[in-house]
Amino acid sequence: MRVLVALMVVVVSVGVQALVMPASTDDSGDLWAVLVAGSKTYMNYRHQADVCHAYQILHSHGVPDDHIIVMMFDDIANSPENPTPGKIINRPDGPDVYQGVPKDYTGTDVTPENFLKVLAGDTEGLKGVGSGKVLGSGPNDRVFINLVDHGAPGIFGFPTTFLYENDFTNAILGMSRNKQFKEMTIYLEACESGSMFKNLPDDINVYALSAANSTQSSYACYFDSARRTFLGDVFSIKWMEDTDREDVTKESLLKQYSIVAKETTTSQVLQFGQLSIDTQRVGQFVGDDQTTLDTFGPFNPLNDPCLNSSMASPDVPLATLQMNHNNAVADLGADFWQTQVDMLQESRGFVKDKMREIVAAVTGDSSLTNQMMTNNHHQIHKNKCYQAATNSFHDICFDLSENTYAMRVLYAIVNLCEHGYTADEFTTAARAVCDFDPITGII
């Protein structure tokens, strides 16, 4: 079949324009897609903007809505903070990407549990929830999954809870056992996103890209001063703008990967799983109807409008508040934003202090405490301990989805677990230390 594809590429490239490529060139399978933005609030505009853009890509390449499942909180387009109500853009002066996006699972229906049910094709489990749409793919079909949000070691965020790496990996293995795909491609944008694929097998026809390696931040870009928010994330912008400018019936996943890895200078874009899939064409995972190509100028790393506005995701909240402060004209407005900046800095310090107190209670030793509070990027081997202790921290101390900054101190839990401390010891200490009322908004 590869010969046939190669032949057709040759035919097209010699200019026989009348030759129309059939929707699927090498089998009769369908394409299915699951798109998830895991965050909420206007500050995180960019995640839902990325996912809306991904939907527009699939839609314009001919993938029907009944094969696309979208999960997003849906609090951006009509947020009072959005100066263009009902519209979301994903690059400066870009087109509206919100129009037509299916609202399969929104608000509190955007959960890891529902996501895993969508993947499993669990119609029964999603009866009466959102649109109830699930992956209906079979052994001849291709599946594309795009996930965009905050992350932490072995964690992908959702609006109220989070998805652990091994639950995700197990779901993928289950899909493979149940023959829910011929091939599957996953593009994941989040901080430390490489950690989500560390156990992905390389022999089950699943191919994945992460925006960053297992210890790096992912980066936001395109700060829009009128909207007072970042419009996109670097890796997402790079793969989607590449898709918009390339003929996806010809471009291979490998070519896309090399372009995106080169242009994402802010973090290390990595490939995982079955790399042989990267010889496939992008169109086999985003739809094969080739549309008009977008014209962006040639890539210039020194003057790239996404890169030259990029910012590490954890720095976005403070920077956004700071820019609001700088832009505030009235003294009153400036004071308000300065207070927000000061308060956020203080409350971030509070999170870190509480983690340090817990660690000190667990280790009972100041030099061990310093060691555990150093982010030396341990790989997670003690999954059970990490999950149980992280759940305790989330339940007892800081709700991670309401306080995304708390994700930035989870490395201390990784360290404790990897050094043989137990989740029970952590939980006991957390109960003693976190005796304050529930807190939100530490972002």
Ligand X SMILES: *[C@@H]1O[C@H](CO)[C@@H](O)[C@H](O)[C@H]1NC(C)=O
Which parts of this chain interact with ligand X (CB under 6 A)?
213-216, 268, 303-305, 308
Alpha-carbon distance of 134 to 71, in angstroms, equals 11
Helix 112-120 crosses helix 165-177 at what angle (to 10 degrees)? 10
| CA dist., res. 432 & res. 42, Å (int) | 34
Rounded CA gap, 264 and 103, in Å?
A: 30
Between 161 and 309, name the residue whose CB sits nearer to ligand X: 309
User: What is the Cα–Cα distance from 82 to 46, expressed in whole angstroms?
Assistant: 12
CA angle 135, 401, 396 (to 5 degrees): 120
Closest distance to ligand X from the beta carbon of 305 (Å): 4
Between 322 and 347, CB nearer to ligand X:
322
Smallest CA-to-CA distance from 23 within 281, 293, 294, 292 is with 281
Question: CB 86 → ligand X: shortest distance, Å?
Answer: 28
Instruction: Compute the least distance from the CB of residue 167 to ligand X, in Å.
Output: 22
The DSSP bridge pattern shows strands 206-210 and 155-157 to be unpaired
| Closer of 61 and 408 to ligand X (Cβ) | 408
Is 70 or 211 the residue whose CB approaches ligand X more closely? 211
* Rounded least distance, CB 8 to ligand X, Å: 35
**Nearer Cβ to ligand X (49/211):** 211
Q: Choose, from 52, 59, 191, 306, the residue flagged as catalytic.
A: 191
Q: Is 61 a catalytic residue?
A: no
Instruction: Report, in Å, the least distance between residue 194 CB and ligand X.
Output: 7
Q: Is residue 57 within 8 Å of residue 36, measured between CB atoms?
A: no
Shortest spacing between CB 211 and ligand X, in angstroms = 12
Radius of gyration in angstroms for the set of CA atoms belonging to the chain, rounded to a whole number: 22
Nearer to ligand X, 223 or 393 (CB): 223
User: What CA dihedral angle connects 23, 27, 29 and 33, to 10 degrees?
Assistant: -60
Minimum distance from CB of 304 to ligand X (Å)? Answer: 6
Distance CA 267, CA 213 (A): 7
Residue in the block written with tokens 């918009």: 244
Which one from 150, 385, 394, 417 is the annotated catalytic residue? 150
Token pair listed for 67 = 């094969």
CB of 369 vs ligand X, minimal distance in Å: 25
* Maximal C-alpha separation, the chain: 75
H helices within 156-277, ranges in order?
Answer: 165-177, 234-245, 253-263
Instruction: Please identify, using beta-carbon distances, which residue of 221 and 282 lies nearer to ligand X.
Output: 221
Residue of 156, 176, 177, 159 whose CA lies nearest to 167: 156
Say whether 191 is catalytic: yes
CA distance to 65, 266, 324, 439, per residue, from 336 (Å):
44, 32, 9, 20
Nearer to ligand X, 214 or 415 (CB): 214
Tracing tokens 């802010």 back to the chain, one arrives at: 266
From CA 254, how far away is CA 241, in angstroms rounded? 16
Residue corresponding to tokens 């003690």? 382
Active centre residues (catalytic): 150, 191
